[in-house]
Amino acid sequence: MLQQFGVASIDQQLVVVLTNTLFHEIDALLVAVIKPQNTQALLTAFHLPVRINEQAYFIDLLDIATVSTKRLKTTDITLQQYRQQIKAGLDLLIDGF
C-alpha cells in the first residue's frame, strides 16, 4: 500500500510519496524524485540528503510531479524519519515565493 513518505518506483526511478494517503482513495499522487547523490552541490532546503539501503541519495523537492497510482510500484522503504525536513522544504517552496 502506498503511504505518505513511502518510497515507490516508476520504471527504474525512485520517488517519495508526498500526498497523505491515509484518508483519501485517490488515483493520482504527488511525488518527488529521489536521485543518487554525487559531488554536485545541493540546495539544502530543497535537496534533502537521505540514505536508502546504505546508499547516498537526495530527495529533489524541485522535481515534483503528479503520478497515477497505477504507475507506482510500492517498496518496503519509508522515509518517515525525514518527515520534518520534507515538510519544511515543501513549506519553504510554497510560502517562500
For the chain, where are the E strands, in sequence order? Answer: 6-10, 13-17, 28-36, 47-52, 55-68, 73-78
Does 58 map to a domain? yes
What is the count of structural domains for the chain?
1
Q: What is the pLDDT of residue 4?
A: 93
pTM of the model as a whole = 0.89
Does 43 map to a domain? yes
Output the domain CATH number for residue 30: 2.30.30.110
Q: Per-residue pLDDT for 23 more than 90?
A: no
Does 12 map to a domain? yes
Percent of the chain with pLDDT over 70: 96
Does 66 map to a domain? yes
Domain with 57, as residue range(s), is 6-95
Does 1 map to a domain? no
